[in-house]
Amino acid sequence: MIGGKSTTLDARRKHSTATIAAVFLLPVAFFLFVYLFRSIFHMFQLSGYSWSGISRTRDFIGWGNWQRLLNDQNFFNAIGNNLIMVFACLAIQIPVGLLLAYIVDWANRRFKSLKLVYFLPLLMSAVAIGFLFKQLYDARFGLIGVMLGWFMDIPFNVLSNEQTALWAVIAVICWQFIPFYMLYFFAGLTTIPEELYEASIIDGAKRHQYIFRVSLPLISGVIKNASILCLVGSLKYFDLIYVMTEGGPAGATELMATYMYKTAFTQMRMGYGATVSSGMFIIITIISLATFKIMSMNFRRGGKIT
């Protein structure tokens, strides 16, 4: 009798849990479905059509767009630029960020505002940074352009030169994101207990020995995560590049995202734009999933804010 009653209570509780779960998850599910899942599906569907985006009719051409994509020099050029950017950003942002994190950590007791100064670039939006540096690179009226001119026979704007444009843009991206990695590493450094440093010094370690033998190994997980963020982030850049160069000159700074935007919205080729977008989606998703797999151990632990 009692047993029977408790099972119905249990069943009722389960039932109410299911109802609440369904109701509480509904809004999130709605937004994710409408804007993400449906969009991805729709994108792949569109990649089979030749369509301007305006006309009422669209022609189904099957794999036609995909064949064109595989032979599209511009797309592969964009992938190449994206890859150069990934490696350059990893090679510059992570070491400089790390160095600054150590400097800030070391200076923190005496000179706290150093961190706040270094933080400044994070206050600006990518669009604002893009326009600011576009002016700064001006060979006659820009701070950097004029300074670069001191080292050049005939001063030119580094943004409008095919050889230098990509590196000029990478320098700005580094300026924008180094503070982020600095703060990320700094947060990692502050989790190392003070006693560890004291113990190493008492044991006769020099400061550089402490850094290379004790603290760097301790934050290696943090460095790994930062590298993954940097890698995946570099594959998605759009705003800053589009504002500074629109992918030019002659495709020298074209990235997958800028190429996709220009195909779909400037040239009004929605169908082919969707194909470029799908290609980009596949490349980024594969790389992201692979890196998520690698960091999954750290990933589970994350999501804490104190």
Partner 1 sequence: MIQQRRLTPAAMVAVLFALFWVLVTALPFFFMFMTSFKTQPELFQSGSVFALPDALYFGNYIEILTGRFFMYLRNSIIVCSLAVVVLLIISSMASYVFSRLKFRMNAVLFSVVIACMAIPIHATLIPVFILTRDIGLYDQPLALVGPYIAFNIPVSVFVLTGFMKTIPVELEESAEIDGASKVRTFLSIIMPLAIPGLATLAIYNGINMWNEFIYALVLTSSVQSRTLPLAIWEYQGQYGVNIPMVMTILALSVMPMIIAFLILQERLIKGMMVGAVKG
User: Distance (Å, rounded) from C-alpha 11 to C-alpha 20?
Assistant: 14
Quote the least distance from Cβ 247 to partner 1, whole Å. 14
CB nearer partner 1, residue 119 or residue 167:
119
Structure tokens at 11: 């069943």
Q: Least separation, in Å, of the C-beta of 188 and partner 1?
A: 10
Which residues neighbour 299 within 8 Å (Cβ) at sequence distance 6 or greater?
292
Q: How many CA atoms lie within 13 A of 91 on its CB side?
A: 8
194-199: long-range contacts (C-beta < 8 A, 24 or more apart)? none
Give the up-direction half-sphere exposure of residue 286: CA atoms within 13 A in the CB hemisphere. Answer: 5
How far, CA to CA in Å, does 203 sit from each of 115, 121, 199, 206, 207? 31, 40, 6, 9, 12
Report the nearest approach of partner 1 to the CB of residue 158 (Å): 15
Other CB atoms within a 10 A radius of the CB of residue 123 amount to 8
Alpha carbon 7 to chain centroid distance? 51
Tell me whether residue 19 or residue 67 sits nearer to partner 1 (CB atom).
Answer: 19
162 vs 299, beta carbon nearer partner 1: 299
State which residue, 1 or 26, has the beta carbon closest to partner 1. 26
CB of 182 to partner 1, least distance (A): 9
**In 245-269, which residue ranges form alpha helices assigned H by DSSP?**
256-261
Q: Which is nearer to partner 1, 21 or 70 (CB)?
A: 21
In the bound complex, what is the minimum distance in angstroms from residue 184's beta carbon to partner 1?
5
Nearest distance in Å: CB 207, partner 1: 8
CB nearer partner 1, residue 1 or residue 305: 305
